[in-house]
Amino acid sequence: MQTSGAKLKVGKNRNQCQACKQYFNSNSAFTYHRIGEHGVDRRCMTVEEMLGRGMDKNQAGYWVKDKGTFKHG
Ligand SMILES: [Zn+2]
């Protein structure tokens, strides 16, 4: 699923990372993709890293932590 250039809605839980511009289905999924130590090497996971850790995009195009539970992120 390719979503680059597409405008997705953000809201109460769904959000877009201002650093990597990816869309997330929940705050927990958003938090999950941020790795490293605060103030040291805090950064976003790459798409490859997210996929490698079991994250995936749901049908709507938002990243979720586990596709099997994407309703809850
Ligand atoms: Zn990010």
Distance 24 CA to ligand 1 centre (A): 9
Distance 49 CA to ligand 1 centre (A): 12
Could you read off the pLDDT of 26-42 as tens digits, one per residue? 999 999 999 999 999 99
Instruction: Map out the domains of the chain as residue ranges.
Output: 15-69
Distance 31 CA to ligand 1 centre (A): 9
Report residue 13's pLDDT band, with 50, 70 and 90 as the boundaries.
confident
pTM over 0.85: no
Query: Which contacts (CB < 8 Å, 24+ apart) does range 64-72 have?
Result: 64/24, 64/25, 64/26, 64/29, 65/26, 65/28, 65/29, 65/32, 70/25, 72/26
Distance 66 CA to ligand 1 centre (A): 17
